[in-house]
Chains A and B, each alone.
Chain A
């Protein structure tokens, strides 16, 4: 039963990722991306990564969607390719589903030998002990990255001095 749910979710994930490329309106593409994030969250939860799934849901599905929506409203561009005709745009993306179907067919037919079992045994470390003891330098790196992002955004939106 669990596997069936996962297969359906995988299909929905690829479909929503395809929609982000195929939809004409940028706002709808962003909403499709948020839906893809939510589906990925459920997949991660079912695959045994609940903490990362919570991060994905709150940050990727929430914060990044808010950033995109605010960017779209600041630039006022709901339609991405306003200068181009619909037919031309469709002709650009019509190959994508075809390529997807061909590659999926090739992989399903050839079945590359990746169904091997675990190479090493699962450690009993919890995520907390891994983050705080094993990879504690990552925390410092993350703080630096966040600070760099904050200063970058502050400089980008700083009012230009009137010379």
Chain B
């Protein structure tokens, strides 16, 4: 059972990292970070179950979720500002325009 959770966590990390490296769209980079965070949350719950300290794991997950939502809100604001200035969400195009 626990090795299955390990497998799922590894797969979520692979999907997140591959997505983060491959995509060129700013919004999709945030979505990739979200997928990575899902893997991290599952890791914390897994470790909580492994060590038998689910209360500590839950409090850390709650802290993680709050940090995650603040990062998403600020990053979304930055992306909207970048779009207003460069009229594009493609990373390569933004670099080209800023040269």
Q: Which residues of A contact B (CB under 8 A)?
A: 3, 6-7, 10, 13-14, 17-18, 20-21, 26, 29-30, 33, 36-37, 40, 43-44, 47-49, 51-52, 55-56, 59-60, 63-64, 67-68, 70-72, 74-75, 77, 80-81, 83, 92-93, 95-96, 99-100, 103-104, 107-108, 111-112, 114-116, 118-123, 125-127, 129-131, 134-135, 138, 141-142, 145-146, 148-149, 152-153, 156-157
> How would you classify the secondary structure of chain B's contact residues: helix, strand, loop or mixed?
helix
Q: Tell me, yes or no, whether B94 is within 8 Å of chain A by CB.
A: no
Q: Are A125 and B55 in contact (CB under 8 A)?
A: yes
Q: With A and B bound together, what is the CA distance between A52 and B65 in angstroms? A: 9
Give the chain B neighbours of A156 by CB distance below 8 A: 74, 77-78, 80-81
Q: Are A13 and B12 in contact (CB under 8 A)?
A: yes
Closest chain B residue to A19, Cβ basis:
B15
Q: Are A80 and B25 in contact (CB under 8 A)?
A: yes
Smallest distance from the beta carbon of A105 to chain B beta carbons, Å?
10
Q: With A and B bound together, what is the CA distance between A71 and B83 in angstroms? A: 10
Partner of A111, one of B3, B31, B50: B3
Please, how many residues of chain B have a CB less than 8 angstroms from a CB on the other chain?
Answer: 68
Partner of A49, one of B48, B52, B71: B48
Q: Are A40 and B19 in contact (CB under 8 A)?
A: no
Given contacts A14-B8, A122-B53, contact A72 B27 (CB under 8 A): yes
Q: Are B10 and A107 in contact (CB under 8 A)?
A: yes
Given contacts A49-B48, A52-B58, contact A149 B3 (CB under 8 A): no
Partner of A152, one of B7, B18, B77: B77
Q: Which residues of B contact A (CB under 8 A)?
A: 1-8, 10-12, 14-16, 18-19, 22-25, 27-28, 30-32, 34-35, 37-38, 41-42, 45, 48-63, 65-74, 76-81, 83, 89-90, 93
Partner of B83, one of A75, A99, A114, A119: A75
Q: Are B58 and A26 in contact (CB under 8 A)?
A: no
Q: With A and B bound together, what is the CA distance between A108 and B93 in angstroms? A: 42
Cβ contacts A to B, 13 pairs, < 8 Å? A14-B15, A26-B25, A29-B31, A40-B41, A64-B69, A68-B76, A80-B23, A80-B27, A92-B22, A103-B10, A111-B3, A114-B6, A115-B2
The 3 closest A-B pairs by CB, nearest first: A149-B70, A122-B52, A156-B77
